[in-house]
């Protein structure tokens, strides 16, 4: 058997460079640091997916249990105040429309559809309970018909199921981290759902699809968290092609809405190309500058990074139904949500959420 020549072996510098890159990617995905990344990767023979699976197997149930009662040895007066605050928070009943919703009865009457898409950064367990309560506060404020969520973890979903009882929650996974779709029970009826796998993902990513009925209209809802990190542009564009193909091939009587953390750069979208029937909602609404950056380390300091990064990672795409007899959904409003700091001094997520509304014409 021929022996392997020295020239065939990867050089030490190449191995170190590759492992350093893997550590950076692992740390970015999990919100940890290079030391944690190196530990998990080394234990899993430097295979990214195995290392991620190992990391996400950790028991996170206690995150909420601990943060729900962070009072320590506070004085009796402080304890009573905190208890009153907690009771007030827990009394938010998402089974009922919030008082804020009474300000927009016309939207209820004319068939407007509203949605929020948000990477909630469940992988960051610091202040996670308060941040999850922050998400629920936005649900009460905006009462969206549909919610697309990315970077959910099991205890976060369990928390939402207890608090957001007016919503049906569809999960894109059951361990690690995954996406989810929430449907307002009084407005949106689930017909069926499926999870579409990305065959070559290294980061446990997929496409979550839900077929729903909204006031007699058939709508296909889709969310995804496309591959992260600059070095995975090729895989990310593969995944975008899957999304666009599904949108393009949907029946003529079906409206298709996609929202999620795409991690896309404009150059990547240009290379893939959008079908003529699909529009980028932000662009359709005039590329409003105040809605451009959904990942903005200049303002959002949830992640401590030594650089300023402002990107439009989170996007919403629409393919209206083309059949004449079917109402055509048209975007009429977009805003960023989650811009206010919570009492803990942090934001609900390291991403801003996107709120959109659509009118039927």
> Which band of pLDDT confidence, cut at 50, 70 and 90, is reported for residue 8?
low
Q: Is residue 185 part of a domain?
A: yes
Distance separating alpha carbons of residues 66 and 36, to the nearest angstrom: 22
Q: List the CATH number of the domain containing 320.
A: 3.60.10.10
Same domain for 95 and 25?
no
Task: Say what the alpha-carbon torsion angle 330, 181, 62, 66 is, to the nearest 10 degrees.
Answer: 30
Same domain as 311, residue 261? yes
Q: Are residues 117 and 235 in the same domain?
A: yes
Q: Sheet harboring 206-214: ordered strands across?
A: 188-197, 206-214, 217-225, 254-261, 314-319, 279-280
**1 lies in a domain?**
no
Q: Are 26 and 151 found together in one domain?
A: no
Q: How many CB atoms lie within 10 A of CB 62?
A: 10
pLDDT of amino acid 64: 64
pLDDT tens-digit series, residues 52-111: 878 876 545 555 654 443 323 334 444 445 444 444 444 445 545 544 443 443 444 458
**Do residue 159 and residue 253 come from a single domain?**
yes
Q: Closest Cα to residue 132, out of 141, 142, 121?
A: 121
What is the structure's pLDDT at 101?
Answer: 43
Active site residue 110: no
Q: Are residues 173 and 118 in the same domain?
A: yes
pLDDT tens digits, one per residue of 198-247: 999 999 999 999 999 999 999 999 999 999 999 999 999 999 999 999 99
- Residue 216's Cβ-side half-sphere holds a number of Cα atoms within 13 Å equal to 7
Between strands 113-119 and 188-197, the pairing is: unpaired
User: Is residue 75, in this structure, part of any structural domain at all?
Assistant: no
Residue 7 lies in a domain: no
Alpha-carbon distance 226 to 359, whole Å? 28
SS (H, E, C) 149-200: EEEECHHHHHHHHHHCCCEEEEECCCCCCEEEEEEECCCEEEEEEEEEECCC
| pLDDT over 90 percentage in the chain | 67
Q: Which helix (H) or strand (E) holds 28?
A: helix 12-30
Residue 115 lies in a domain: yes
DSSP conformational letter for 312: -
Please provide residue 197's backbone torsions phi and psi, each rounded to the nearest 5 degrees: -80, 150
Would 68 be classed as within a structural domain? no
In a domain, residue 8? The reply is: no
Q: How many domains are there within the chain?
A: 2
Same domain, 219 and 290: yes
Indicate whether 126 belongs to any domain.
Answer: yes
Q: Which of 121, 124, 145, 261 is catalytic?
A: 261
24/162 same-domain check: no
- pLDDT score of 138: 97
Per the DSSP assignment, residues forming a β-bridge with 196 are: 207
With CA atoms as reference, report the closest residue to 132 among 170, 164, 102, 101: 164
How many Å separate Cα 56 from the centre of its chain? Answer: 17
Verify that 177 and 253 share a domain, yes or no. yes
- Give the strand pairing for 254-261 and 217-225: parallel
The tokens for 226 are 């496309």
Residue range(s) defining the domain that contains residue 51: 13-56
What's the pLDDT band for 51 if we cut at 50, 70, 90?
confident
Do both 228 and 109 map to the same domain? yes
Structure tokens belonging to residue 53: 């699976």
Whether 114 and 46 share a structural domain? no
Report CA-CA distances (Å) from 63 to 84, 116, 154, 216.
21, 25, 11, 41
């Amino acid at each position: 058997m021929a022996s392997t020549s020295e020239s065939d072996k990867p050089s030490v510098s190449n191995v170190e460079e590759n492992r350093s890159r893997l550590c950076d990617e692992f740390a970015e995905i999990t919100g940890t640091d290079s030391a944690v990344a190196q530990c998990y990767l080394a234990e899993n023979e430097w295979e990214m997916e195995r290392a991620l699976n190992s990391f996400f197997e950790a028991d996170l149930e206690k995150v909420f249990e601990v943060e729900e009662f962070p009072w320590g040895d506070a004085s009796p007066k402080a304890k009573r105040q905190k208890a009153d605050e907690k009771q007030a928070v827990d009394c938010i009943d998402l089974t009922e429309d919030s008082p804020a919703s009474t300000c927009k009865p016309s939207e209820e009457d004319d068939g407007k559809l509203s949605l929020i898409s948000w990477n909630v950064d469940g992988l960051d367990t610091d202040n996670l309970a308060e941040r999850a309560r922050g998400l629920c506060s936005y649900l009460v404020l905006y009462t969206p018909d549909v919610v697309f969520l990315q970077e959910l973890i099991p205890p976060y979903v369990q928390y939402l199921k207890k608090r957001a009882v007016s919503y049906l929650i569809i999960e894109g996974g059951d361990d690690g981290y995954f996406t989810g779709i929430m449907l307002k029970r009084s407005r949106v009826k689930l017909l069926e759902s499926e999870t579409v796998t990305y065959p070559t993902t290294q980061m446990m990513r997929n496409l979550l699809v839900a077929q729903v009925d909204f006031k007699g209209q058939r709508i296909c809802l889709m969310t995804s968290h496309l591959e992260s990190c600059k070095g995975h542009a090729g895989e990310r564009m593969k995944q975008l092609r899957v999304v666009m193909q599904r949108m393009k091939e949907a029946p003529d009587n079906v409206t298709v809405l996609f929202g999620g953390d795409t991690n896309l750069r404009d150059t990547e979208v240009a290379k893939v190309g959008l079908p003529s029937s699909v529009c980028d909602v932000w662009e359709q609404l005039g590329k409003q500058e105040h809605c451009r950056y959904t990942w903005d380390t200049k303002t959002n300091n949830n992640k401590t990074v030594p650089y300023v990064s402002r990107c439009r990672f989170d996007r919403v795409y629409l393919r209206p139904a083309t059949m004449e007899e079917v109402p055509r959904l048209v975007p009429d409003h977009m805003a960023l949500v989650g811009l206010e700091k919570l009492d803990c001094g942090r934001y609900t997520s390291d991403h801003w959420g996107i709120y959109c509304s659509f009118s039927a014409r």
